[in-house]
Amino acid sequence: MIVTITANPSLDRTIQVRKLVRGGLHRASSIHVDPGGKGINVARALVLNGLPVRAVVAAGGVEGEQLISLLELSELDVVPVPAVGPVRINVSVVEPDATVTKFNEPGALLGSAEAKALSETVLRHSADARWVVIAGSLPPGAAIDFYGELVRAIGDSAASVVVDTSGPALRPAVAAGPALVKPNLSELEEAVGRRLDTLGDVVAAGRELVDLGAGAVLASLGRDGAVLLSGQNCWHAEAPAVVGNSVGAGDALLAGFLAAGGAGLRALVTAVAWGSAAASLPGSTMPGPEHLHPRLVLVAPELEQDRKLHRDS
């Protein structure tokens, strides 16, 4: 069983337009509405591929009711926790060249009572979990070390903890000692306080997170695939993808990694296959078995330290 926690979920509305013009009138060529939030996306990808998963979600308002309804339609085991205020609505505007312009609302307030209820619910439903995934941004009102405290609390169980967050919440969560941290390029740059231009820079930054407390680091790099640092091992893998919308691709990548056992080169290859598949699908659609092509994933025999990164991840 894999349990995911989404403290700041969303309804993701993806709008495709021919060209985004500031101040102009736009007519959408297509619209997708998906349940969103990193933990929710991980859970959606896992359930689509037949894996047992439970999603703990803080949700309030009419929007929260819609979110829970959409998740239940996907046959996901959802555990809702009340929040103060409605679930946020995030809007992504996608142009034909796959350029994405995003508008993210801050989310509903997570006060001390709601934070306590969320933590207690997570601990109660994680007793039979192999992995617990703490994913997404902190909602307004939450303490900066909320995720870090949750990592420590879960640490008393048999479950291994994954952290995928950003901003001020990331370093305290890493310092709490999760088994795995899954940053993207911009989150990794923010965590170490500098720009990362090469694969070697990513490896050095990942080592810093390991020194801070992470058991392993899985860095998603957009068109450059992903890098996994685990113990003394360091691997890089990538796959060709026709990018339609990269929203949720990193979440699919993490889901694939856990689906394949959550460790080692095979899990990295599976992760990249899931992530590249998600990047080729509309909206924040998660890939099913029919979308996955792990044989297309390329593993570098030796990590190219000086290889320049694309700056679209």
Give backbone dihedrals phi and psi of 180, rounded to 5 degrees, phi first. Answer: -150, 140
Active site residue 251: yes
Q: For residue 269, which of 293, 301, 294, 246 has the smallest C-alpha distance? A: 294
Q: How far apart are CA 93 and CA 17, in angstroms?
A: 7
Q: Active site residue: 201, 224, 251, 312, which one?
A: 251
How would you list the strands of the sheet with 77-82, edge to edge? 77-82, 53-59, 2-6, 131-135, 160-164, 180-181, 216-220, 226-230, 233-238, 298-299
Please answer whether residues 68 and 77 qualify as being in contact, where contact means their C-beta atoms are separated by less than 8 angstroms: no
In angstroms, rounded to a whole number, what is the distance separating the alpha carbons of residues 70 and 179?
31
What Rg, from alpha-carbon coordinates, does the chain have? Answer: 18
Identify the bridge partners of residue 238 per DSSP, sorted by sequence position: 298
- Quickly list DSSP for 200-230: HHHHHHHHHHHHHT-SEEEEE-GGG-EEEEE
Active site residues per annotation: 251
